[in-house]
Amino acid sequence: MHHVWTEKEIAFLRENYGKIPHEAIARELGRTPDAVKLKAQRLKIYARRWSEEKQEFLKEHYDMPIEELCRILGVTKKSIYMKALKLGLRKQMDNAVWINTNLSSEQLAYLAGIIDGEGCISFSLAKGGRVIRPFISVCNTKRGLIETIRSWLRFGNAIGKGRRSVRHKHVWDIHITRYADVKALLEKVKPYLIIKKKQCNLMIKYCTSRLTKGVNSLYSPDEMKIYNEVRELNKRGVH
């Protein structure tokens, strides 16, 4: 026997269809999931689970725990996995260290001295300031020095940054930006750092927090505090 849909039930269906699973609507109304789908089709109620805003959020935060994504986006795990597949999203190996940190104490001490004198431990902003990325960089006018560091770390290339004017020498640069690599390298050179010890400690704490939570998770107040402290230290030149 078919039960006639009341105006109240139809209003509930219009309000929630596509926002919560069909099963949840069916339980609330005391109907079957198939009945819910059929009624929605007859009323021409179409679920738009994935708005442009939701898709952008998924792209930026896909490494968040799946349960948290379900709660925030109001969709099922299956829906998230299917949408991620269509968008070509993959969980990153965020905790894997790609650079070589198996260096001698002499190499680490030398590298720490270079970072103290010619390097920078800081953050860069991406995607309109919505993404905060850590980095370690070293710039020098001697390409051989940058190439030596590159060979030790087995990472990247010495990148030419050009000259500011004909009176200046050519500058070479090496950048390390992955969370796990930044954290691993700083933990190794930390005992030898002098000038940038504060930035080092703060950055290790920041990277540890992001890797634990997921690099695409929302930023916590503590992480934002670290970001501001490091920026202020570098701005003032306080070591």
- Distance from C-alpha of 162 to C-alpha of 49, rounded to nearest angstrom: 48
Provide the sign of the torsion angle of the four alpha carbons 218, 223, 228, 232, taken in this order.
negative
My answer on whether 54 and 172 are in the same domain is no
My answer on whether 113 and 82 are in the same domain is no
pLDDT at 86: 81
Q: What is the CATH number of the domain that holds 137?
A: 3.10.28.10
pLDDT digits (tens, 9 = 90+) for 49-89: 677 777 888 887 776 767 777 777 777 877 887 888 788 77
Mean per-residue pLDDT, 178-189: 92
Binned at pLDDT 50, 70 and 90, residue 198 comes out as: very high
Encoded amino acid at 179, one letter: Y
My answer on whether 83 and 192 are in the same domain is no
* Mean pLDDT value across the chain: 83
pLDDT at 59: 82
- Distance from C-alpha of 97 to C-alpha of 100, rounded to nearest angstrom: 8
Binned at pLDDT 50, 70 and 90, residue 1 comes out as: low
My answer on whether 118 and 211 are in the same domain is yes
The better pLDDT of the pair 126, 189 is held by: 189
Provide the sign of the torsion angle of the four alpha carbons 137, 142, 146, 149, taken in this order.
negative
pLDDT digits (tens, 9 = 90+) for 109-130: 999 999 999 999 999 988 788 8
Strands (DSSP E) contained in the chain are 119-126, 131-140, 159-162, 171-176
Answer yes or no: is 164 within a domain. yes
pLDDT at 2: 61
The domain in which residue 62 lies consists of: 7-87
My answer on whether 173 and 127 are in the same domain is yes
To 5 degrees, how large is the angle CA 74–CA 80–CA 82? Answer: 140
Task: Output the CA–CA distances (angstroms, integers) from residue 9 to 2, 24, 31, in the order listed.
Answer: 14, 13, 10
Query: DSSP character for 154?
Result: T
pLDDT at 185: 95
Task: Output the CA–CA distances (angstroms, integers) from residue 101 to 52, 191, 220, 230, in the order listed.
Answer: 41, 14, 29, 24
Mean per-residue pLDDT, 31-54: 81
Report how far Cα 189 is from the mean position of its chain's Cα atoms.
24
